Structure 1
Amino acid sequence: MTKTNTKTGEPIGWSDKPKDDPQVLELKAHLEDNNGIKGLQILGSNDVDEAVSLFLRDGFVVIGDVLNSEQIDLLASGCNDVINEVAVLDPDNHGNRGSHRYSFGGSSLTRSQLHRPAWQMLLDVPVLSKILTSIFGSTDYILRAASGDFCLPGAVDYQPLHSDVNDWFEGGKTPFSSFFDLRGQVCLRDLPVPYICANFLPQDVTPLNGATRQIPGTQNSRAKIPNLKEEPEWMKLSTVCPAPAGAMMLRDVRAWHGGTPNLSDATRAIPNLEFYAPWFREPLVPGISYQDYNKLSAHAQQLVRFSVMDSSEELVTGTTLRAP
């Protein structure tokens, strides 16, 4: 998958440092030799019980071969459409999640890519619904967003470790993904998983193309997340790779994770779907028109029922570097 200039068709990236920079070459050799979680398990689509067990233990799990070749091609094409539209807006690769890094949702006026067929297709992946139903203990979970991220070749820096949800605190920037116990006894990390991110791979993920680093077992940890200076080397190498195109990674969004350098020659994309537990809700922004909603399967309609635009209103879509 390659980000291309829509006028010339030539690959772009590598804006911060050249490929042959000595520090880049040293890091590349280090990642080739050491990057990746040792003994990473990639389960089959029938291993639902084991997938649930690993997810609850580690805060993430990888399932292979959930997409066939046609679905992989559709997803890769859909991602490339967005990537090329973003390229026009950001020719210097500044990114909206750090240099050379972008959020698919953060690049959409709707904060989501649910209006695109490639993301709609993911709603009906059979093994996804089986695992989510088992984890949540119900079929009444709903879609939060259809998003994900991509990083360009030449993303030479690590993204700091972070969690996608936090407890509420006074003066905070947003009430989203917030939990507050008046007694001060329970925090969000003590609860069952509030929402789950399902990442899908339209290309192989390797030690060199920006694999997600995931720190096992941190979904319930109250410890302070280390910054880049504090982070030990083993965490920087704790990446979910190698993983094949067509695989799916489920993440408890509370677990510590972050982006890693993409020292390859191609863009790495990991589009996602995000789901709220039946008991957890936040304000939602419409991401699909009523007309497109009616074209979905009954199962997909159930998932996106709170993300559909009213039939009397038009869904305004478009690409941006800063979602409203």
Structure 2
Amino acid sequence: MGRYDESARDALAQAFEQDGFVLLRDHFDRAKIDAWRDAFASLLQPHVDAAREASSSGNRGPGRYYVTLPFEGEFADPSVVCDEDIVAIVERVAGRDPVMCQLATDTPVLGSEFQDWHRDTPPLFDDAPETPSFQLAVNFPLVDVDDSNGPLETTRGTHRISREEALAGLADGRFPPERVPMRVGDVMIRDVRGLHRGTPNLTGAPRPMVVIGYSRAWYFRPEVHIDVPRAVLADLPPRAKRLLRYNPVVERTERIFDENYRQFAY
């Protein structure tokens, strides 16, 4: 049973259509997300160590790490990955019967910098940037996020226009930048074409932000997928199995991934 009735879900989807994102405050139980945070801690350090050995400072730019989550344990919780309210909103803005295609984190640490303004995917058609939504990111932090530790900076209404028009509007004030503080339990659903950037983490503690990707069933990016262990899949409810239907089923999943999703800014 979700938190929102059908009329509230409709209203949230309408707000999404206008702004390109919507926030669900205090949506997840804090204790549940704290368990994700604890399980994540051991996954980040190998990436930090690998970057140090390569004389680098991050796999997504200075002091910034993209870390895929293994689909097991806490990270395979169906109450999160197929939350009724979230999926209902996704279906309203990106079509019926979507697929879940990504489970990862973005984590800036001390030494991170402002990213360039970007989108996470190119338009479907160069001459038709106003197409309906086809790929969404569901973000939720594993720690409280404020101005000190790298909040997302985004713009409203830039998800249905060209990148060039969005950048021009950012420059002339038509699309002013907006930082998004979030607390543990908050959820953001956004169209990945909305113009946005990461900001610096000025603290000594990592700031992990989960991203669960959902897309229309026909949209496929081969560099982004979820390895689903057969034993985990067998225990999932039918709705979760349906969302994961196009991902590879494996006997076991790696806990530390060799990240090959490199081209992320458009």
Question: What TM-score range do you get, normalising by the shorter chain?
Answer: 0.7 to 0.9
Structural RMSD (CA) = 2.8
Give distance in 2, aligned partners of 1:214 and 1:45: 26
Structure richer in strand, relative to its length: 2
Say if 1:194 and 1:276, in contact at 8 Å, map to a contact too.
yes
Amino acid at match of 2:115: Q
Q: What is the deviation of 1:161?
A: 0.8
Q: What is the aligned partner in structure 2 of residue 54 from structure 1?
A: 15
Amino acid at match of 1:193: S
Q: What is the deviation of 1:116?
A: 3.4
How many residues are aligned here?
250
Q: What is the correspondence of 1:82-231 to structure 2 with a 5 Å cutoff?
A: 82-91=43-52, 94-105=57-68, 113-121=69-77, 122-138=80-96, 140-155=97-112, 157-167=113-123, 179-180=124-125, 186-187=127-128, 189-224=129-164, 226=167
TM score, norm. by length of structure 1: 0.69
Cα distance 1:116–1:84, how it changes in 2: closer, same or farther (>3 A)?
Answer: farther
Gaps of 5+ in 1: 1-43, 106-112, 168-178
Give distance in 1, aligned partners of 2:194 and 2:13: 15
Give distance in 2, aligned partners of 1:101 and 1:125: 28
Structure richer in helix, relative to its length: 2
- CA deviation map 1:37-70 (0-9, x unaligned): xxxxxxx953423321221111111111221122
Amino acid at match of 1:317: E
- CA deviation map 1:178-212 (0-9, x unaligned): x34xxx7x43x221101110001221110111001
Counterpart of 2:212 (choices 273, 284, 298) is 273
Amino acid at match of 1:56: E
Say if 1:89 and 1:320, in contact at 8 Å, map to a contact too.
no
Amino acid at match of 1:319: I
Gaps of 5+ in 2: 262-266
Give distance in 1, aligned partners of 2:103 and 2:89: 18
Q: What is the aligned partner in structure 2 of residue 253 from structure 1?
A: 192
Structure showing greater Rg: 1
- CA deviation map 1:125-144 (0-9, x unaligned): 23212212222342x10011
Cα distance 1:247–1:286, how it changes in 2: closer, same or farther (>3 A)?
Answer: closer
TM score, norm. by length of structure 2: 0.83
